[in-house]
Structure 1
Amino acid sequence: MQTTPQNHQAPDLAQIQAARRRLSGVIQTTPVDLSQTFSEMCGNRVFLKLENLQTTGSFKLRGAYNKIALLAGEQRRRGVIAASAGNHAQGVAYAARAHNVPCTIVMPESASLAKVAATRRYGAEVVLAGATYDEAYVRACELQSLRGATFVHAFDDAAVIAGQGTIALEVLEQVPSASAIVVPIGGGGLAAGIAVAVKSLRPDIRVIGVEAASAPAFRASLDAGRRTTVQVAPTIADGIAVAEPGRLPYRLVARLLDDVITVEEEQIARCMVLLLERSKVVAEGAAAAAVAAVAYSKLPTDMGDTVVIVSGGNVDVTMLSRIIEHGLVESGRFVRLSVTLADKPGALRSLLDVFAGLGANVLSIHHHRVGTRIALGQTEVDIDLETRDQTHIEAILKSLHEHGYLPKQMS
């Protein structure tokens, strides 16, 4: 794989400041929002750094643009190549177009049509290869070797890390009272860049990484004292679903980060819903993972002013409804019940009266009169209910039992 000298040495504050100058007029200085909702949940003042509002929908443009801006003439002529299933692909494609550099992005065949289309709109050649990101990465390396293009790694590259670190420079200006920064961590490029900048300027500020429990590569590596490969389980935080930390990010994170913690899938899903409902923020799973650390009291209550990096907002519309439903179930805002009734007039009305009396909103009803579990003269009814919280669900189940029903709560 072709590399440049920046790949081998850790970036310093001067390189991050230089990256900021390169990015001036290109990226958005994304806003910071003081969240009353998450402040109350955390016990500290919580500020959301809204990188979901960044051009291309995530922080990835910062690092990709900085990397491509540093390429020499011959490197630009040969072009760039990257492997990605989403945000990095769009960042590289956008930056390459801005510099008139040929760009190839290898994406797994399972990549969403929306992300493939968005990457092509930025002018990249998209090659679909392999069932997973790892297989797409292998194909990208093969093409890079054949074409002599520069490989733009998503996180294991000093120029990319320096670009991501520009977020920290903005945060320190926007929230000078900050005493902690919470950042999602996958391969480690974002966390490493932020840590280098913060610890150079304000070593008193704590920097904490958050990863999905389904892909705890950094936590496992730090515990082992070396880079470790983990088995990645399916996760809605696909942006940080990395099996092994990057070499350079790991060195920086191990030295500079104060802690790395994990959050569960249900917690991530609920925070995606909370961000939508309370903050009017569309956040992808990786971004919501960092917020979940705040919402689920994973952090000390004496953290002081805490800035959470909402790293991106590129959520497939087709997935969004399922994620919202998952979050509503976890928070007790939605429940699906199966109830067996006598197949006679008025039976359903009597059941609905129970729900109405408890203030539960019926969203949908499905009847089943034929099935191995359904006796003659009976009907099975599946009902989706909008509820207030878990206590409300328990009250509904109790009332149904008192009225002689035997409800089954469905997942």
Structure 2
Amino acid sequence: MPLDDTLAPSGLNSLGLPKKPADTRVVVAMSGGVDSSVVAAMLAEEGYDVVGVTLQLYDHGAALARKGACCAGRDIHDARRVAEAVGFPHYVLDYESTFRDSVINEFADSYLAGATPVPCIRCNERVKFRDLLGVAKDLDADCMATGHYIRRYMGPNGAELHRAADAARDQSYFLFSTTREQLDYLRFPLGGLASKAETRALAARYGLAVADKPDSQDICFVPSGNYAAVIEKLRPGAAEPGDIVDELGNVLGHHGGVLHYTVGQRRGLGIGGLGEPLFVVRLDPDRRHVVVGPREMLQTRRVVLKELNWLGDAPLDGEQEVLVRVRSTRQPVPALVRATEDGAEVTLLTPEEGVAPGQACVFYAPEGTRVLGGGWIRRAA
């Protein structure tokens, strides 16, 4: 079974490197789950010099952690068990302080500013693909492999990022900020698999104890999906009460804190009996206002982005046709994108609902599966 769909010239190993597997050191980022465990076992079976590294990202005994989340106590134990069973070295590195400063604090501050952040992207960007990748290079590894469902191809102008073969498992939305330099060094052996069932079958064949382990949740440090509880723990007293208003500023009700609401929310507003259904269309934390309106007010055609990461072959010059995904659960839709001085501006050819500041807007080629990068949503109009 090929590890990657890359068509490499003769003389390169399955990871696209000009070395025998035994002479190729690969650091595998191990979360303790089935995906990264299969990657490590697969590469070890092929004869690669595998080194497993797990990052402890938070105190697994603290209230922020939850049973079954990645990068905490049980999962570190599971990663170590896989390494011992397969027979390769495994290291655990304490990155709790880095994770708190680079991911958790920004998550809390973004919510308090009225945004809807995606901490998993920041974790990949600022911890796994920056700090852990640096550790891999310090260990003299030739590349670093992860269990992400995304594909890396070699194109005419270098390494390219492509959506996973299994659309249901595709993680390209969470990896849009991967840089060209990082992509040169990274490998994603599971990106070409047809389904998660195939991954679990491989885990069973390798005899891994995690073969039937449930998937971890996206946001590992949020217990039961209760964002507000986490933010209130991190920022005591931050949930200041305010008003629920319409677009004209008329007070329709009251709330216990802006952080309890997200753009597009309909349920739990506590303002029933006003006729047509109302949705959260905007958050104004400075005034402590939750602005609501009819569903059509959620429709967006223009999206302003910051922190643009462009992976196209040529610089983004003028207006370019792309497909964009404005939330991880949405399908890519046609759009036009043009670079600006501090990011990019996207024009959606068909309006999208519930486009929220703090989310990512990811670009794809109009044809095929290539990921062209993306940016962070600063505002929507």
Q: Same fold (TM over 0.5)?
A: no
Higher helix share: 1
With structure 2 as the length reference, what TM-score do the two structures score? 0.30
